[in-house]
Structure 1
């Protein structure tokens, strides 16, 4: 068959029943709605959804049937409660939501599942939910943390020095990917002109929630307005570009296809 629809929300009920009978792979994109810096749209879940769609299309071109479940836009609460208009879920609520989403699919034999995660605050919760399903049912549901994987590709794209200078929340890789995939939503005119170094609790800030004590990284229960500069962590977003974003997106999509093929080859058990 030639696949023309890739998001489950676009399928009719009849089309969905037929698709499920063929045991497709289903991608579940997750994201967040928080401060991503003064220049970036707050909804990074939009990027997770676009990347998921591109993986599904590339997989279809390779002969695999893959669909994208409706994106979960709200991430687990961590550092961003200070942001006006931001929406986050408690970890216990988010865990219950993801569990219910997965159980709804598993109930009907949809077991070829891949989670495409776009928020660091989701990682532990995802592990807890998928581990419970694995121990109970022997069903393997891998999770692919998009921006961490992209950060791993960054030195190979821009070089180690620029990767170190530009990598971090509010900068690379998310800003470059946003410039590539959603250029109309990125306000390059609002990019900060100066990268600010910050201190908190009498120590230099290392990253969100961590301070430097003579080279030792100390975790502290501070929100991002205390440890970041307008939503920007240690990276400089002025070094980001749509060209970098295109290269990172291509690598993410290639990795997504490899994971789809691995799930199809090895099964869920």
Structure 2
């Protein structure tokens, strides 16, 4: 599924004059990800691979209706919680926040006034929300910021993607399924297996508080649920739903910001 050709222009393939011309009207899409350990079976670039596919595929679909420019995916994220395992490249929260501020500032200087940050790593989620808020206060910009699984949440719940696993989890059944669909040659077999979990809470986003526990990731060996539950067939179904939901989100954002 990684051999598609995007019909949305890629920032890094444009000249400076192309960028200047495009910035007058186009929505700028900035995908952000992470390079970090994903258990013994998935590559460290899992989040990067998934969000880049989703971003470019959704942008290609949305570009049939409105101008979009896709910035290079920022591969590194805020992943300090995975550093104890190795196989991780991370910015701490403050540095990552400033990095995104500088990138958005650069895009503002380049002429873009409408931007959407699409995230593929849980550790980045809160930071991108703050960046969007603060940059819209400082500059005449309209910025959207979201993680792809939140955009597609209702569709994934309807597909039972929360049954017996965390959604999106980390290197569990969900992400393993996506990678088996996208880059099966990078998935190490046999997949680690755990006792089937209870269904994830479909209303988890409305939880009354957030709980963080020191040493949590080490206690679960760096992956959240049962990777053996993931299949390529499930991954293809999930990806189709995600790309469609993200495409509609781009078009809705475009309509709201014109």
| TM-score category, normalised to shorter length | 0.7 to 0.9
Greater radius of gyration (CA): 1
Kept in 1, the 8 Å contact 2:23–2:113? The answer is no
Q: How does 1:92-171 map to 2 (within 5 A)?
A: 92-137=94-139, 139-150=141-152, 152-157=154-159, 159=160, 163-167=162-166, 168-171=169-172
Q: Which residue of 1 aligns with 2:174?
A: 173
SS in 2 for 1:244: helix
Partners of 1:262 and 1:256 lie apart in 2 by 10
Kept in 2, the 8 Å contact 1:6–1:53? The answer is no
Partners of 1:34 and 1:192 lie apart in 2 by 18
TM-score, length-scaled by structure 1:
0.79
Q: Which residue of 2 aligns with 1:183?
A: 184
Q: CA deviation at 1:134?
A: 2.4
Kept in 2, the 8 Å contact 1:80–1:223? The answer is no
Q: Which ranges in structure 2 are unaligned for 5 or more consecutive residues? A: 1-5, 201-208
Q: Is 2:223 the counterpart of 1:232? A: yes
1:102 to 1:218, Cα distance in 2 relative to 1, 3 A: closer
Partners of 2:35 and 2:117 lie apart in 1 by 18
Partners of 2:240 and 2:99 lie apart in 1 by 30
Q: How does 1:44-83 map to 2 (within 5 A)?
A: 44-60=47-63, 62-83=64-85
Partners of 1:217 and 1:258 lie apart in 2 by 29
Q: CA deviation at 1:69?
A: 0.6
CA RMSD of superposed structures (Å): 2.6
Deviation digits for residues 5-64 of structure 1, max 9, x if unmatched?
53211223333233224x11111111111111221111121211111110111112x322
SS in 2 for 1:190: coil
Q: Which ranges in structure 1 are unaligned for 5 or more consecutive residues? A: 198-205, 207-215
TM-score, length-scaled by structure 2:
0.83
Count of equivalent residues: 240
- The range that moved more, 101-110 or 257-266, is 257-266
Partners of 1:78 and 1:253 lie apart in 2 by 29
Q: Which residue of 2 aligns with 1:212?
A: none
